[in-house]
Chains A and B, each alone.
Chain A
């Protein structure tokens, strides 16, 4: 289908577009870029907390898609496969950068499900007071979350992926995903409360 117009590409599903792109249709790739670029940048930004990094990582993800388009199999959902690529790239980037300085008690034990994770990123109350908007405060709270909780919360509550999709993207069991999401929310609530309380006291 080389002679298709832009509107025709917009009607097509993600899976159809990637199949077209696999048959060397670059317009299908461009359509996929248009559909996913904002979502991807938003996801990476919420995960990393850096605008520049989110742009670069999003471009890297699209490049990976361009390079390894033949690896996509029709069985899986395109969004799941694409988020998996993005998450893996972001994980490796974060681990390289060493931005996430955490001290996890659970690292002393082999059982991952033990809920002893504490964040090392300490948000000073004055910082929260100086924060301009509510969004920035929430973003700082997200950044202070443990990486395990952060990725699932971002995927669930910001990107609106369902549990099964998140399980596939993170390659975790569904139960683990659910528990992590709940614990992440609990942690986030505590952080936000701790951020708001001193402000109220002041």
Chain B
């Protein structure tokens, strides 16, 4: 028995079932749905197109209208890079090297200049100290000269007084030893001597004093003449230094040296005048 025949009754029942028809507006609904679907698809497509819409290069290379652009642009880019590497970057490298060497040189020069400036300042300090010392010396010497002059005047006065006293005391036959001691330490006491002897002694003392004074004057004169020559040498040296300083361009130093020279010359003049 065939299966179809076996279940014939059920098959007939199933076939006898009413066929369900689609509603009358089925096609209209379907068309509406299709239109909606298409519009949504278009919107999605537009969105996708907008999303895919890249930049200038992307559009350029994605577009199949210009297939020759890709190799040509690639070749141009490669040439540009080669040119850049060979020329521009090398020039930049050399320029950088030159700049670095120039900076190093400038730094060394600055260091040298600072060292020179330090030296110059030290020299200036020394010179100012020397100038001050010279001034002090000049002042001291001036003071000393005035005191010497006073002393000499006093001595001269003292000598005349002593001679007068000797002559006066010869009459009185006696001179106090303390006074003579103060006058001349080498002098011996003149006790128990006669008037002519005393006169002679006094004359010899006077002559000795004069001689000592002359000798002193000579002594004073001789170192002065020596100092004259020395000072001249110093002046020449300083003038040379000033010239060298002028040559080197240190005007401040030259002026100071000139001042020193002037001070030295004034000293020498004063000494000569004395």
Contact = CB atoms under 8 A, between A and B. Distances in A.
Q: How large is the interface on B (under 10, 10 to 19, 20 to 34, 35 or more residues)?
A: 20 to 34
Interface in A164-188: 178, 181-182, 185-186, 188
B30 interface: yes
B14 A153 contact: yes
Contacts of B9: 189
Interface string B1-41: 00100110111011111111111001101100110010000
Interface stretch (A10-18, A37-45, A74-82, A90-98): A37-45
Q: How large is the interface on A (under 10, 10 to 19, 20 to 34, 35 or more residues)?
A: 35 or more
Contacts of A58: 22, 26
B19 A157 contact: no
A185 B10 contact: yes
Given A182-B7, A185-B7, A158 B17 contact: yes
Nearest to A30: B27
B10 A45 contact: no
B26 A138 contact: no
A63 B30 contact: yes
A83 interface: no
B10 A192 contact: yes
Contact of A59 (B11, B16, B19, B26): B26
A70 B3 CA distance: 39
A39 B19 CA distance: 8
B261 to A, nearest CB: 116
7 closest residue pairs by CB, A with B? A185-B7, A157-B14, A37-B22, A41-B22, A45-B20, A42-B20, A38-B21
Given A33-B27, A59-B33, A66-B34, A42 B19 contact: yes
B34 A135 contact: no
Nearest to B23: A55
Interface string A53-72: 01100110011001100000
B37 A41 contact: no
B30 A33 contact: yes
B18 A135 contact: yes
Given A41-B26, A54-B20, A138-B17, 6 more contacts: A38-B19, A41-B20, A134-B13, A153-B14, A158-B15, A181-B3
Query: By DSSP majority rule, is chain B's interface helix, strand, loop, or mixed?
Result: helix
A103 interface: no
Contact of A182 (B3, B13, B34): B3
B46 to A, nearest CB: 18
Contacts of A59: 26, 29-30, 33
22 contacts: A30-B27, A33-B27, A38-B19, A41-B20, A41-B21, A41-B26, A46-B17, A54-B20, A55-B23, A58-B26, A59-B30, A63-B34, A138-B13, A139-B17, A153-B14, A157-B10, A157-B11, A185-B7, A185-B10, A186-B7, A189-B7, A189-B9
Nearest to A178: B3
Nearest to B36: A63
Interface string A100-137: 00000000000000000000000000000000001100
A134 B23 CA distance: 23
A51 interface: yes
A37 B37 contact: no
Nearest to B12: A157
A33 B22 CA distance: 11
A185 B11 CA distance: 8
Nearest to A55: B23
Contacts of A66: 34, 37
A192 to B, nearest CB: 7
Contacts of B7: 182, 185-186, 189
Contact of A37 (B6, B14, B27): B27
Contacts of B13: 134, 138, 192
Contacts of A157: 10-11, 14-15
Contacts of A185: 3, 7, 10-11
Nearest to B27: A33
Contacts of B33: 59, 63
Contacts of A134: 13, 16
